[in-house]
Amino acid sequence: MRLFRLQEPPWDHWLLIRRNRKDHADKACYVTFGPMETTLADLVRVAGRRWAVEECFEIAKQECGLADCEVRSWHGWYRHVTLSMLALGFLAAMRLRLNAARGAPAAGHSSRLPTACRRSATSLPPSRGSVHPGSP
């Protein structure tokens, strides 16, 4: 549903309401903002990706110390977040490579990695060194 606000073209606001497939009484609402020609399918696709992003941040908080920063400056916060997310990407890539070298399916914490994190790890270039099954 289009929201009537004082937006200048080419931008617009919409209210997107999602109903749970299993429990039709459960609804989630999103206020979206984007170009006027954005389709409903695009809005739904982007809203659906939100959960994978939130899962990546939750895992980064638990495994990479994303939540362990006492912010004193914007530069410090930016560096901490960047390094934490880089560490998460590195760990995801190493888990996938080690599990592939062992011939084993994803195990342990790597099974908690959302599809978005696993997909980004598989898009990394191959490592120069060989990975041995017994290596950490």
| DSSP 8-state class, residue 112 | G
The domains of the chain are located at 1-38, 53-125
Give the tens place of pLDDT for each residue, 104-123. 665 444 455 555 555 544 44
Pick the residue with more confidence: 61 or 133? Answer: 61
Residue 16, Cβ density class (10 Å: 0-12 exposed, 13-18 middle, ≥19 buried): middle
DSSP states along 70-109: ---SHHHHHHHHHHHHHHHHHHHHHHHHHHHHHT----GG
Beta bridge partners of 16: 30
pTM for the whole structure: 0.53
Give the tens place of pLDDT for each residue, 82-100. 999 999 999 999 999 999 8
What's the pLDDT band for 133 if we cut at 50, 70, 90? very low
What is the average pLDDT across 35-54? 87
Residue type, 84: S
Q: What is the pLDDT of residue 130?
A: 40
Closest CA to 111 of 57, 47, 65, 55: 55
